[in-house]
Amino acid sequence: MQNILTIISCTCLSVLIAEASGALQWIKYRFNIRHLKPLDCPLCLAWWLTLIVFMIEKQYLDAPLFAATSSILAIFISKSLRS
């Protein structure tokens, strides 16, 4: 159950940072940066954030699987926010 909550939390945080927060757009505008990979892509950010979190928790074998789940979930959340 803890892993599911961690995956959902990482996904929601990634979508919030990449799309819903104005901070990232402000940084890109302020410093005239076109793309700020992986921060401006919810899928990429969810992958890396979840991978790092589970690596810190020493779940080395499960980390890529959880990161993939988080990335796909980020796509669904992102699409539902746009519609």
- Tens of pLDDT, residue by residue over 15-66, are 998 888 888 888 888 888 888 788 888 999 999 999 999 999 999 999 999 9
pLDDT at 70 over 90: yes
pTM of the model: 0.85
- What pLDDT score was predicted for residue 46? 95
- What pLDDT score was predicted for residue 33? 86
- What pLDDT score was predicted for residue 47? 95
- Tens of pLDDT, residue by residue over 43-56, are 999 999 999 999 99
- 3-state DSSP call for residue 38? coil
- What pLDDT score was predicted for residue 54? 96
